[in-house]
Structure 1
């Protein structure tokens, strides 16, 4: 029950179906993102196994970031993904043991290391990424290219907002 600010007692909470359009838009966004994220996690697991049968699903995103952004410090990767240093260290160690990434001294700071995708890691990753892109092309064949570009732009905006 909500308290009536006009002093006449209490009134029931508003029915979700009668909330303002803004509330409905955010509820719809939450619902659609939940479904999208669940499917994305499942897809990441499949793609990770295609790269290497022992690769953890979360580590696939590290390969994406390293391929797109080049060599990076583990602390920068942890910050980008919003995970702790211990989690990042564990995932990077697993990738290194599989031969998908390597560590090299950071020329800008001799105490730090840069993580780089190996040639083997790049080859495996690009094969899986190409297959994934083909799946997107098939699934979105009925979409206008401008709609795809707009979706990419909006997702980028959402991700950029999450980083700040």
Structure 2
């Protein structure tokens, strides 16, 4: 059974609105002088999760051109939030990893985000938030797979979250 047009539009609208609100709050925080460009900060978080990683792999995961990742990596390196080195397998490729200063920055950034969400959703029940998080995760998994399928990548990860 496929969802109706109305449900699809409503879901996309809610996802868009939530994303725009999160971006607005992040930009307010950034304009207050709290670190690098928000897109670069998100990349920093991806680098932390990945450990040492090639720029091409980051671009693939973020679904962006490598030139975008290269610019963001340059910002992060200038701020001393990451460390770069040539790949031992291929000297033309660069490996990046988060620095100690980057770890500290992400800890502060996460704390601000957690405090924001905790305050905004203080009246929500913990179980309801866990359920919402699980369901949104399943939606994101399926949307990510659909994007990959559209791009010609027919690999479909098993999510098991419905």
TM-score normalised by the chain length of structure 2: 0.76
Structure 2 Cα separation of the partners of residues 35 and 91 of structure 1: 25
2:47 aligned with 1:86, yes or no? no
Structure 1 Cα separation of the partners of residues 16 and 42 of structure 2: 18
1:139 to 117, 120, 123: 120
TM superposition outliers: structure 1 runs of 4+ over 3 Å: 46-51, 105-111
The alignment of Structure 1 onto Structure 2 pairs a total of residues equal to 142
| 2:109 counterpart residue number | 128
1:38 to 14, 20, 23: 20
2:44 to 39, 63, 75: 63
| 1:118 counterpart residue number | 99
Q: How far did residue 67 of structure 1 move?
A: 2.2
- Superposed CA offset, 1:8-41 (max 9, x none): xxxxxxxxxxxxx722211211221221121122
Q: How far did residue 109 of structure 1 move?
A: 4.5
Question: Tell me, what secondary structure is at the counterpart of 1:104?
Answer: strand
> Would you tell me which structure has more strand in proportion to its own residues?
1
Structure-2 change in CA distance of 1:138 and 1:63 (3 Å): same
Q: CA RMSD in A?
A: 2.1
**Cα contact 1:73–1:114 (8 A) shared by 2:** yes
**Cα contact 1:80–1:163 (8 A) shared by 2:** no
Q: Which has the larger radius of gyration?
A: 1
Structure-2 change in CA distance of 1:76 and 1:51 (3 Å): farther
Question: Tell me, what secondary structure is at the counterpart of 1:136?
Answer: helix
